[in-house]
Structure 1
Amino acid sequence: MTVVSTKTASFQPVGTVTGLEELRGLVNAAIDVLQDVAMRRTGPVAPGGPVAARTAAAAALPSCLLPSDADARTPFTDMIRAYAQWSVDLSHPAALARMQCPPAPVAVAAELVVAALNQSLHAWESGPFALELDRWVIEELAAVVGYSDQAGGTITAGGSISNLMAVLVARDNTLRAQLGLTAFQDGLATLKKRPVVLCSPATHFSIGRGVGITGIGEQHILRAPTDTVGRLIPSGVDRMLAELPEDQLPVMVIACAGATDLGWVDDLPALAEVARKHGVWLHADAAYGGGALFSDDLRGMLEGIAQADSVTLDLHKFGWTPASSAVFLVRDARTLDAMDQASTTLNAGDDKAAGFVGRYSTSVQATRRVNALKIATTMQALGRDGMAAMVDECHFLARHAASRLDEAPGVELASRPPLSTVVFRFTPPPGVDADDFNGKLRRELMTSGKALLARTSVPQENGASPVFLKMMLLNPATTVEELDTVIDEVLRFAASRQGVTDGP
């Protein structure tokens, strides 16, 4: 039987000489569009808020995702322009809302190479050099944390996935050590003891999601005693572990190594001692605070982090790489064996023996992109001193912003920033609801396109959790003068809204 091709479309893969030349033209066209949009920007985001964004999207997006007669170049540049016009400009001094850093050019260039070559890490034949690069980056980052050469880990799609893996690995290693069970095969239904997780009320929401996904259940999160700031009290954790009912099995204690709001760090050495005493896994969530590891001046914040059984880092916060560049590290690489329970053609024994080993057994993903390349190229380009200087500059900018706001009338500062987050709120005149005022002020600032701020709630000793605003300083290229201009604009905006709120 003769098979006749019915192909009519012309397709050249990017790996061919012709495909690479087409890529060059598309990239140049995209950069031209991005430069044009950048020159026309008037703020960190286009003005108009959600209504304007939806209107712009409705006008720019084609009526059909799969047109019958396609032209590659024009729809591409049109889509790039629309996307760029309504993207947040992370390099703008007033883009202060989220933990998104402006990426280094070298990191973006590395992303292009990763996409063009489209390697994967799940099997040797999917990316031989990529696998070695991934292993090397993990080894190097483990050393930055202070782990020995016995450590292991994986690069993940985000801090939430890293924290999910922490719960998963802690669950499986604890059940094996304490009950001789393998959760992957045995499940949790037959357990005579209920796994529980100890953490503070300020623990990141991804932990709750991870506890739910892994079958432990959010209702089995036990909130341990904390001080007035929110840090775990090690003696309280010790007492809770000692007094747990017989039908409860502590799976892990989760320490915060840099709270995303106020920046504080739990007492890691003391918590490690408590965890060892009770044979419980200790995880340090340093997704944000891990940036301090790159600074000689700030590294002391994370004293004892190498005593944790596992650590979460996010290099798309401090690290100046595009998302996603998160990392999950373990003190002992053998604890990741729990991920390698399911036997597949990806981890066949004879292939392993011959050295054809992928990274499938270190991740919850199979196919996954090579995020190690942008991490490696960026850190090589910046160097230790460069990384330290950038972290220190962000810290300096945060302290400057905090001082400016603290001196301003009608502004309450939550605390002095240990790293790069500034949390504050405006205190409007009597009779005006402060939470409502700050919430509306933030939304109006975003709608105006003048500034992007985050919001949070800061627990008080009286039990209240009022709304605070938050500035995230992750752009070391911002000057003091530029930051002052942004702060002046926010203060003017707040003053004018107080007048509106008070009425004539």
Structure 2
Amino acid sequence: MSQLQTAQLSPIQNQALFEKNGLPPQFNLDQFINYQIASLQGLSAVQQAMAKAQKPFSGVAVNTLAATVNDVDLAKPLADFPAVLNELKSVYLDHAVYFHHPRYMAHLNCPVTYPAVVAEHIIGAINTSVDTWDQSAGATLIEQKLIDWSCEKAKLPSTADGVFTSGGTQSNLMAMLVAREVAVSRYAPEHQVKLQGLPNVASRFRIYCSEVAHFSIQKAAALLGLGYNAVVPVATNSKMQMDMDALNHAIADSKAKGDLPIAVVVTAGTTDFGSIDPIKDIAKLAKKEQLWCHVDGAYGGGLLVSEHHRSALNGIELVDSITIDYHKSFMQPVSCSAFLLSDKRHFSHITLYADYLNPLAEAGNGTPNLVDKSLQTTRRFDALKLWLTLRTMGDAPLGRAFDKVIGLARQTHIVLNEHPDFDVINYPELSALVFRFAPEALKHNPDLLDTLNLHVRQTFLKTGDAMIARTKINGRHYLKFTLLNAQCQLSDVRAVLEQISTIAWQTYKEQQ
């Protein structure tokens, strides 16, 4: 059947063509017209859903939506693709959380560039796996080009290299894995962890990070057999940055106990506060103490393309490894992240050669198999999203967008300070603010304030009028804005703050 004949079929008739000989609807040239039709129908469904979303979330209750999903019988396919999309509206599109909405201010989720969305279409259609050259060809070279670009932006030495990852948690795990292996080669040089597991001396290994660092550092330590207790939380200063005196003291204290300091993690953008640890000072100390120095730049990595705030990352060129999440501050769809090493030779700690996939002989002849650098084997061509974005618009607009939300966060800080109903914890180095409803008349009752602030967030989850986050500081409940949408205006922030104030005061009066 020709493509022209296929194009003249109705979508319902196409369904029969999909299921010819009982086979699934494979994506190929014979089915391309069907794919085009279905893609346009899918885009139309997304457009309608986004236009309908007058607020970031519908407010649907978990039990209500779960009942709708549970009613779906996966053993009974629907009549045609429009019917499938109509069902999708009820189980997902009508109740998705829309990060593009200016009143989504909750977590480290960003709106995305349209070239990156187009890239997702291409990635899915070709279905490349970038683990080996013979499965990816040009995709391997595109990813490597972007890794080289990222290393250059960070001003890493010519020995640097990296690989795309699923996100900051995986990148941080890789950093701690390499740090552990480097420590083993120092303290147990005859021992091979790949063959023998951990040496006894590993029980004394210690890793240092800010007390407000991401939990993935502890998770990595546990997965690597070192345990949560191997991670030493270091006190922060008034700006929520790792305190250098406290770090020096923590290292000295570990040594006095007979423990072995092996690594320090510098956070460039803490999840709650967006605070950036003193990179250069910590890197210099790490070199002096012979510690692996890793920068978790999952959030703050976007400063690499910032026009006004790049200096906040000064010293990053001195570290051993870096985590960057392009799906946070580079406006890329999830997932799109990278792990960078200043010395590519350390990827040997991750490499395992398999004759059927990436034989040692290929490494010797220069065949670029990215699996040699990755924890994953099969891996999506996520680099294409960043590639199409940069080739369409360059990196300057991405930097401007990040600069804009940083500026908005600092304007918001002024508004919070001037508002009688709020206490704000931090001045935003990036775009995160922690605050709480705490009018002077109620400050004598912190338990009541905890209740009111929790109720505010629960109310937003029920109404969907805005999406904000929450956290705990010194055991007390706080609210949090994370601003990553450059289309968000100060008027949007003011409106949400007034809603918070109204909800809290009304709840208080109802309880009296």
Please confirm whether the aligned pair reaches a TM-score higher than 0.5, indicating the same fold.
yes
Residue 406 of structure 1: aligned partner: 417
Match of 2:135 in 1: 126
Instruction: Tell me, yes or no, if structure 1 residue 492 matches structure 2 residue 492.
Output: no
2:454 is matched with 439
Partner residue of 1:461? none
Closer, same or farther: CA 316–422 of 1 in aligned 2, 3 Å: same
**In the alignment, does 2:89 pair up with 1:81?**
yes
Unaligned runs of 5+ in 2: 1-18
Question: What are the Cα deviations for residues 215-270 of structure 1, in whole angstroms up to 9, with x where unaligned?
Answer: 11112222334434443233443344345157533221111111222222111111
> 1:223 aligned to 2:233?
yes
Assess if the C-alpha contact under 8 Å between 1:346 and 1:360 holds in 2. no
CA distance in 2, matches of 1:350, 1:192: 33
Q: Which amino acid aligns with 1:188?
A: L
Does the CA-based 8 Å contact 2:160-2:343 persist in structure 1?
A: yes
**CA displacement 1:355-379 (0-9 Å, x = unmatched):** 4331111111100101100011113
Asked if structure 1 preserves the Cα contact closer than 8 Å seen for 2:175 and 2:294, the reply is yes
1:378-407 residue CA offsets vs partner (Å, 9 max, x unmatched): 133232321221111111221222222222
- The residue number in structure 2 matching 1:200 is 210
SS state at 2:480 partner = strand
* Partner residue in 2 for 1:387: 398
Judge conservation of contact 2:165–2:337 (CA < 8 Å) in 1: yes
Write the letter of the residue equivalent to 2:112. P
Aligned partner of 1:456 among 459, 471, 484: 471
**Contact residue 158 and residue 324 of structure 1 kept, 8 A:** yes
CA offset at residue 425 of structure 1? 0.3
Structure 1 SS opposite 2:21: coil
1:406-463 superposed Cα distances (whole Å, 9 cap, x missing partner): 22222101122111112110015244621121111111122111111101123xxxxx
Q: Is residue 315–residue 321 contact of structure 1 (8 Å, CA) maintained in 2?
A: yes
SS of structure 2 residue aligned to 1:95: coil
- Distance across 2 between alignment mates of 1:38 and 1:224: 44
Deviates more, 1:76-85 or 1:125-134: 76-85
Of residues 314, 331, 356, the one that matches 2:325 is 314
Alignment of 1:363 onto 2:374: yes
Contact 1:30–1:80 (CA under 8 A) maintained in structure 2: no
Deviates most, 41-50 or 104-113: 41-50
Q: Is the partner of 1:445 in helix, strand or coil?
A: helix
Aligned to 1:90: 99
Deviates more, 1:207-216 or 1:22-31: 22-31
User: Residue 285 in 1 paired to residue 300 in 2?
Assistant: no
Identity across aligned pairs (percent)?
A: 27
Match of 1:8 among 16, 21, 25: 21
SS at match of 2:350: helix
Measured in 2, the distance between the counterparts of 1:79 and 1:282 equals: 50
Tell me the CA shift for residue 278 of structure 1.
1.7
Structure 1: runs of 5+ lacking an equivalent: 1-5, 459-463
2:32 paired with 1:20: yes
Q: Give distance in 2, aligned partners of 1:222 and 1:466.
A: 23
| Contact 1:98 1:454 survives alignment (8 Å) | yes
**Structure 1 partner of 2:178:** 169
Q: Return the letter of the residue paired with 2:81.
A: R
Residues 91-143 of structure 1: CA distance to partner in whole angstroms, max 9, x if unpaired? 11111111110111111110110011110111111111111111111110111
Q: Distance in 1 between matches of 2:249 and 2:432?
A: 33
Q: Secondary structure, in 3 states, of the residue corresponding to 1:223?
A: strand
State the distance in 2 between where 1:147 and 1:274 align: 18
1:450 partner amino acid: D
Q: CA deviation at 1:19?
A: 2.4
Shift of residue 189, structure 1, vs aligned partner: 4.5
CA distance in 1, matches of 2:277, 2:196: 34
Structure-2 residue corresponding to 1:212: 222
| More divergent stretch after superposition (84-93 vs 218-227) | 218-227
Shift of 1:198: 1.6
Paired letter, 1:234: M
Partners of 1:168 and 1:262 lie apart in 2 by 27
For 1:480, the aligned partner's letter is L
1-structure distance, mates of 2:34, 2:262: 53
Inter-partner Cα distance in structure 1 for 2:311 and 2:235: 24
The one-letter code sitting in structure 2 at the alignment partner of 1:374 is: K
Matching of residues 216-365 of structure 1 within 5 Å? 216-243=226-253, 244-245=255-256, 247-341=258-352, 343-365=354-376
Quote the offset at 1:293 in angstroms: 2.0
Q: Equivalents in 2 of 1:10, 1:231: separation in Å?
A: 58
Structure 1 contact 198–252 (Cα < 8 Å) conserved? yes
Aligned position for 1:137: 146
> For residues 254 and 80 of structure 1, do their structure 2 counterparts lie closer, same or farther at Cα, with a shift above 3 Å needed?
same
Query: Is residue 93–residue 486 contact of structure 1 (8 Å, CA) maintained in 2?
Result: no
Distance, in Å, in 2 between the alignment partners of 1:104 and 1:291 is: 15
Corresponding position: 1:41 with 2:53: yes
For 2:506, what is the secondary structure of its paired residue?
A: helix
C-alpha spacing 1:414/1:190, structure 2 compared with 1 (3 Å): closer
- The number of residue pairs the alignment matches comes to 487
**TM-score, reference length from structure 2:** 0.89
Aligned-partner Cα distance in 2 for 1:177–1:20: 57
1:344 offset after TM fit, Å?
A: 4.4
Tell me: CA distance 1:231–1:480, structure 2 relative to 1, closer, same or farther (3 Å).
closer
Q: Deviations over 1:63-113 (max 9, x none)?
A: 42222x654514521243121111011111111111110111111110110
Counterpart-to-counterpart distance in 1, 2:46 and 2:332: 18
In structure 1, what residue type is equivalent to 2:497? I
Q: Is the Cα contact below 8 Å between 2:103 and 2:467 reproduced in 1?
A: yes
